[in-house]
Amino acid sequence: MKHPAQEPNAVPAGAITGTIIGVAFAIAIGGLVAYGIEAWRTDELAGDPSAPAEQMRGVPAEVNAMETTPFTVEAQGLASHRVAESWLSSYGWIDREHRIVHVPIDVAFDLYLARGQGLASLQGGSP
């Protein structure tokens, strides 16, 4: 059985090699720039010990410091979740003068359905 001749490459090998070299060069330049920025910023934050004191202009270190933690350590929203959970599971007055109370959410659902309002509103009827 005779196989057909191999098709020519659609992209020349020189273009692929040039692209790989270009990407490696761009990565190297980016790494050098990042290293330079980091070194410059570290010197700026720590201060140059050989620099005279008048160049520091009396700026405290905490003012010149950069925030290094992008997220808070504790989970956000836990306190408000606890408050909402306690509100939804407790009894209390909303307006004592008008005799309006809040009850646990499951009790409120049961009272609402027991009055028949839940079924009437689901069926399209008026309460």
- Read off the pLDDT of residues 43-60 as tens digits, 9 standing for 90 and up: 665 655 555 555 555 555
Task: Summarize pLDDT for 49-105 with one digit per residue, the tens.
Answer: 555 555 555 555 555 555 555 555 556 677 778 888 888 888 988 888 988 888 888
Q: Does residue 58 share a domain with residue 17?
A: yes
Residue 17 has pLDDT above 90, yes or no: yes
> Is 73 inside a domain boundary?
no
- For the residues of 38-78, what is the DSSP string, one character each? HHHHHHHHH--TTS-HHHHTT--HHHH-----SS-SSPTTH
Shared domain for 82 and 43, answered yes or no, is no
What's this model's pTM, rounded to 2 decimal places? Answer: 0.32
**CA 105 – CA 98 distance, rounded (Å):** 21
Q: Rounded CA gap, 102 and 100, in Å?
A: 7
Residue type, 50: S
Q: Can you give the residue range of the structural domain that contains 27? A: 13-64
